[in-house]
Structure 1
Amino acid sequence: MTEADNTIIQRKTLGEQTLSITVEQLLDFITAKGSDSSCEACGAKDWYYAQDDAGPTITTSSNVRSPNTASWFFFMSCNNCANTRFLEAGRVWEHYFGQNKEAAK
């Protein structure tokens, strides 16, 4: 197996693990990090977490300097004013699956 093959397998595994994160885990991550639950725009504490049958919705943002790469984000929006927060999926992944997962809690 080549190094390129190993990289492809590793990326597939990382992707599958990220896609396995549940809304409950996302909420636990936010709590564990001590994030303020108040909306920055209006102060409300009522958030919508987009999801489908497979779990929380993940959106991507492409990299202008490197079009073959993209960052993944979980997002939540305020039910009062529609302000939106993006949570970088890699940080959530690190919390649950990374080498330092015990230190991340």
Structure 2
Amino acid sequence: MQDPENIVDETLAITEHQVRDFLEAFRVPMACDCADGEHDLVLNPDNQPNLLAIPDPRDEDLENWFFWLNCNCCGHARMISASRVWTWIKTKDQDDE
């Protein structure tokens, strides 16, 4: 795995296209359990994937970051680990070498 020295800046630079590629690569189902809606990636006003940060109660200096999806019908939310997306981006082409 790559050295995560720049993980914060690189995670903040992840694009909508990269997250959608991740979702497709892992065949993340977009249909919601409510049966009437579809999940979609939540974007900020700059059309960047919105990040949700959740503090770790065991370590005040640690946060877990997630990209999130929201159902367009019932509002159900799903979280995708931002570090997992970052790792996939960094390693996905290594199998081709």
How high is the TM-score relative to the length of structure 1? Answer: 0.76
Name the Cα RMSD after superposition: 2.3
Cα shift at 1:46: 4.9
2:62 equivalent to 1:69: yes
Indicate the structure with greater helix content.
1
Structure 1 pair 34/54, CA: closer, same or farther in 2 (3 Å)? closer
- 2:10 is paired with a residue of what secondary structure? helix
* Kept after mapping to 2: 8 A contact 1:21/1:56: yes
* Kept after mapping to 1: 8 A contact 2:41/2:49: no
**Larger RCO (CA under 8 A, 6+ residues apart):** 2
Q: Which runs of 5+ in 2 are unaligned?
A: none
Percent of residue pairs identical: 27
Q: Which runs of 5+ in 1 are unaligned?
A: 1-8
Counterpart residue number, 2:92: 101
Q: Report the structure number with the largest CA radius of gyration.
A: 1
Counterpart residue number, 1:78: 71
4+ runs deviating over 6 angstroms: none
How high is the TM-score relative to the length of structure 2? Answer: 0.82
Q: 2:8 aligns with which of 2, 10, 15?
A: 15
